[in-house]
Amino acid sequence: MPTDKTMEAVKGLDVPRYMGRWYEIACFPSRFQPRDGENTRATYTLKEDGATVDVLNETWSGGKRSYIEGTAYKADPNSDEAKLKVKFWVPPFLPIIPVTGDYWVLYIDPEYRHALIGQPSRSYLWILSRTPHMEEEVYKELVQRAVDEGYDVSKLKKTPQADPPPEAEQGPEDKKGFWWIKSLFGR
């Protein structure tokens, strides 16, 4: 679904207010996440420099917690647009290769409870919430915003979230990074 529309990112994002935990309500499946992932979430922590964000992405697959850590920073420090770059080192069990991607905040509600995240190629899309569940009306509004930005939302997949969500200490970890290896083969 090619589009000529210029994608717009949020301007004037209050970065400290954006920090904290965000639950993945839906996303475009990608090779960087296990297909059977659930309870997927991201936790953002602003570093002391005020410009770099520590990123912790977690998901549960096969009853085990998998995670990857990275950093995010403004693509253009002089711009007020919420266009960030995120960098992860892979594979997670032996982090030697840097992988950098775009992370654009396309929408954030005034209370900073719901967010729509994408990137210029429109290959990736995330609907995030401060809580593990989102009202259907809000979800539909964010899906419509994605359509308005030129996304093919037929690829959107809801992410199962437990109630209450597990904490990191509540499950065994995938210490070998099997989910990452399987993701290379599209599993």
| pTM score, whole prediction | 0.88
CATH code for the domain of 83? 2.40.128.20
Residue 100 lies in a domain: yes
Residue 175 lies in a domain: yes
Can you say how many angstroms the Cα of residue 42 is from the centroid of all Cα atoms in its chain? 6
- Tell me the percentage of the chain whose pLDDT exceeds 70: 87
Three-class HEC string of 90-108? ECCCCCCEEEEEEEEEEEE
Range of the domain at 125: 15-179
Instruction: Indicate whether 36 pLDDT > 50.
Output: yes
> What pLDDT was estimated at residue 53?
97
Residue 7 lies in a domain: no
Domain count, the chain: 1
Average pLDDT, the chain: 89
How many Å apart are CA 67 and CA 78, to the nearest integer?
31
Residue 133 lies in a domain: yes
Band (186; pLDDT cuts 50, 70, 90): very low
Residue 77 lies in a domain: yes
> What pLDDT was estimated at residue 2?
54
Task: Give the DSSP letter of residue 181.
Answer: H
Residue 5 lies in a domain: no
Residue 185 lies in a domain: no
Band (158; pLDDT cuts 50, 70, 90): very high
Question: pLDDT tens digit string along 87-127?
Answer: 998 776 677 888 899 999 999 999 999 999 999 999 999 99
